[in-house]
Structure 1
Amino acid sequence: MGSFLFPHFIPSGGAGGLTVLLNYWFSLPMSIGLFIINASMLLIAVHYLGTSSAIGTLVGITGTSIAVNLFEVYVHLSFQNVWIDLFIGSITLGIGVGLLLRQGVSHGGIGILALIISKARRIPPGKPLFLINGVIFIIISYIINWQIVVQAVICQWFSTKIIDWIFHLHVPPNVLSFLQPQFRKK
């Protein structure tokens, strides 16, 4: 997000959209705005998803905010082409969020609401995530620029497809067995 999406003011999702609005209105750094929005959603995670999910979400929120700050300030990977950056940003966003949601935790923000709806309705989390973020994008289009929203919707569509694919990906247990310590029998 910090390298590919935020430099073009493309919101990566609902929390990202609200972060872009905070930056637009108050010149609040993106990483700080993202942390504030995500931390406020943590109370909802504790209530609806339980303490272990909330702790995982807190780790995800903190990691995301630190990574956004590092990439926004120190690492400039952007291709300076909005469409290439949009494509790469959507892929990395989808993979990261998909891996977190697969573990029952969220990267914060609207992902928490999507995970709650997903668990309650037994549906993939990408669909509610897309709908909630769409409403936020409409607000951004009215306040900032409608062209950003077109890019944000493309980003959301592509990344939520990746999220749902990763969420339902079946990995046989023996494929990852090399990650477990092997002890010799005596």
Structure 2
Amino acid sequence: MNSYILITCGGIIQGMGMALFLFPNKIPSGGAGGLAVLLNFWFNIPLSFALWLVNFSMLVVAIHWLGNASAIGTMYGITVTSISIHFFDYYIYIPPSIIWVDLVIGSAILGLGVGILLRQNVSNGGMGVLALIIAQLKDIPPGKPLLLINGSIFVLTASIIAWEIIFLAIISQWLSTRIVDLVYKVKITKEVTPVMAWRKK
């Protein structure tokens, strides 16, 4: 139960960073986000559904490599993220801001959400599945493979829509993956309550 509470929090936080700060500036949040932006650009599919569609297609990979439990958690997490994107996009309004401010804030929030998900052995969906598999096989934090995989998709997205996107997207990924690794590696220790020992007089 505690794991699904954390997955819910991670999905909501991730969706917030995307919907309020990155997507309004056409900045892909990652490989899946880049493909979602392309689907929206080509077919005018809502970003929330396009992101869910791309993430859903990676479930077969998640089931094969990460197991049923992780795949179910991943599906739940990306569904929460997509619903959050829809909610924040339609019901929360943030006045236009400087794009670099949105970039930094959105990337930090995105990295926090993704990091929380990965700590539960749940992918944030899309290319995060591949990054988590590589991280487990190589016993490394997932931030670096996530950056490399997403970077190649950014080149494709930028070549189709606008080359300026690639610079913003790579900076966003660099910032967010640093946060991912920090959250992923942080040690959480349970506080031990001292027990009073009573002596018989």
TM normalised by structure 1 equals 0.91
Q: 1:3 to 1:78 in 2, by over 3 A?
A: farther
Give 1:140's aligned amino acid.
T
- Counterpart mapping for 1:39-50 below 5 A: 39-50=56-67
Deviations 1:51-83 (Å, cap 9, x if unpaired)?
Answer: 110111011010000001111111123543211
- Counterpart mapping for 1:1-186 below 5 A: 1-77=18-94, 79-174=96-191
Checking the alignment, whether the CA contact within 8 Å between 1:79 and 1:85 is kept in structure 2 is no
Quote the Cα distance in structure 1 between the aligned partners of 2:171 and 2:95: 18
Q: Percent identity?
A: 54
Aligned length: 176
Secondary structure in 1 matching 2:58: helix
Deviations 1:73-122 (Å, cap 9, x if unpaired)?
Answer: 11123543211111111011000000110110012111111001100111
Quote the Cα distance in structure 1 between the aligned partners of 2:96 and 2:143: 27
Runs of 4+ in 1 over 6 A off after TM superposition: none
Checking the alignment, whether the CA contact within 8 Å between 1:4 and 1:78 is kept in structure 2 is no
Secondary structure in 2 matching 1:2: helix
Unaligned runs of 5+ in 2: 1-17, 194-201
Quote the Cα distance in structure 2 between the aligned partners of 1:53 and 1:25: 32
Q: Give the drift of 1:172.
A: 1.3
Q: 1:124 to 1:145 in 2, by over 3 A?
A: same
Secondary structure in 2 matching 1:123: coil
Task: Please identify the structure whose Cα radius of gyration is greater.
Answer: 2
Q: Give the alignment's Cα RMSD to 1 decimal.
A: 1.3
Quote the Cα distance in structure 2 between the aligned partners of 1:78 and 1:13: 24
Deviations 1:109-167 (Å, cap 9, x if unpaired)?
Answer: 11111001100111110010000000001111211111111011000000000000111
Unaligned runs of 5+ in 1: 178-186
Secondary structure in 1 matching 2:20: coil
Quote the Cα distance in structure 2 between the aligned partners of 1:105 and 1:174: 25
Secondary structure in 2 matching 1:76: coil
The structure whose RCO (Cα within 8 Å, separation 6+) is larger is: 2
